[in-house]
Amino acid sequence: MNKVIALATMMVIVFAVMGCKSPAGSENTVVQMKTSLGDITLKLYDETPLHRDNFIRLVNSGFYEGISFHRVINGFMIQAGDPSTRTVPIPPSADSLNTYTIASEFRKDLFHKKGALAAAREGNEVNPEMRSSGTHFYIVQGTVINNEEFPAAENRINSGIKQAMFNRIMRETAESAKLSGTQLPEGEIQEITATKMYDYLASNPSYTIPEEQREVYRTLGGVPRLDGTYTVFGEVVEGLDVVDRIAAVSTDEADKPLTDVKILRMKIVSK
């Protein structure tokens, strides 16, 4: 029964989103988010049109009104986007990411500085394409990063990229064999995958954080370990103090705020 209800909820979301047309020529679309702890103004990036247009449709449909920030980690980020959080208290399933998904739109020039608006997603094991949740988003708070921390961040980024690519190649190899009517043993699938991974690694050098982004991380702060694996599609242009205020609320062991923080309204204020 719960699965039926969840599926019905997702269908309502999808139809609501499809029914709201995205504004044409939405250059530098600006969104005002009114929360129970203050206002946050967001700019959506035109360089990530799939995420931009999806977010615009959700805002215009009123989807986010009454939704709570269900995952808050001080020094990291604040996350919202689950329709089940309109009820009080927030249900344990609020962070399930049980939504439609959007193809990733990674860009090296869009990174997880403080105030970055990004899409949450399921992990690489079940989501090797790193597709974004259709409704869940987070705003980065992060911390100021020193030079000694960048190598660990780069190692995590590259590990995530390689793991997702390995899972993707392995799945595609198995599916291709199945479609051709061939049943390959697990060992042979892994061997083919390893060969293709070697070719991938030979032609794709490891990611390094550019110096200009390092300077932003050293001064403004952020969470560099998420770069290249989660889609950043906007940023806070006003209200970083509100992000800090929300991030500072007391939470339980599951990172859920003890005092509900609601999104009261979102609206497009300029295009």
Within a domain: 134:
yes
- Same domain for 158 and 96: no
Structure tokens at 194: 């390893």
Report if residue 211 sits inside a domain: no
Does 133 share its domain with 250? yes
Q: Are residues 11 and 34 in the same domain?
A: yes
Distance (Å, whole) CA 81 – CA 243: 16
pLDDT of 19 reads 43
Verify that 158 and 234 share a domain, yes or no: no
Do 114 and 240 fall into the same domain? yes
For 204, phi then psi, to 5°, come to: -130, 95
pLDDT in tens, the chain (271 residues): 444 444 444 444 444 444 444 444 446 899 999 999 999 999 999 999 999 999 999 999 999 999 999 999 999 999 999 999 988 777 777 777 778 999 999 999 999 999 999 999 999 888 989 999 999 999 999 999 999 999 999 999 999 899 889 988 998 999 898 888 888 888 999 999 999 999 999 999 999 999 999 999 999 999 999 999 999 999 999 999 999 999 999 999 999 999 999 999 999 998 6
In a domain, 208, yes or no: no
Of 242, 54, 213, 19, nearest to 137 by C-alpha is 54
82 token code pair: 């689950």
Return the beta strands (E) in 131-231 as ranges. 132-133, 137-140
pTM of the model: 0.84
Q: Which residue in this structure is represented by tokens 């899409």? A: 119
Q: Check: CB of residue 92 under 8 Å from CB of residue 254.
A: yes
Tokens 């697990």 label which residue? 186
Site of tokens 């969840």? 6
CATH of the domain at 92: 2.40.100.10
For residue 210, being part of any structural domain is answered with no
93 is a domain residue: yes
Are 137 and 191 within one domain? Answer: no
The separation between CA 240 and the C-alpha centre of its own chain, rounded to angstroms, equals 19
Q: Answer yes or no: do 96 and 199 share one domain.
A: no
Burial of 149 (C-beta count, 10 Å sphere; 0-12/13-18/19+):
middle
14 with 52, same domain: the answer is yes
Q: Tell me: do 89 and 67 sit in the same domain.
A: yes
What pLDDT shows up at residue 267?
97
Identify the DSSP state of 83: G
CB 139 within 8 A of CB 72: no
Query: Which tokens belong to 81?
Result: 């986007």
Domain count, the chain: 2
Given a contact cutoff of 8 angstroms between Cβ atoms, the answer to whether 264 and 65 are in contact is: yes
Residue environment code for 71-95, b if the CB has 16+ CB neighbours within 10 A, otherwise e: bbebebbbbbbbbbbeeeebeeebb
| Enclosing domain of residue 191 | 149-203
Q: Are residues 122 and 231 in the same domain?
A: yes
Contacts 24+ apart (CB under 8 A), 125-131: 125/167, 127/101, 127/164, 128/164, 128/165, 128/167, 128/168, 128/171, 129/103, 129/104, 129/164, 129/168, 130/104, 130/106, 130/164, 130/229, 130/230, 130/231, 131/101, 131/102, 131/103, 131/104
| 93 & 183 share domain | no
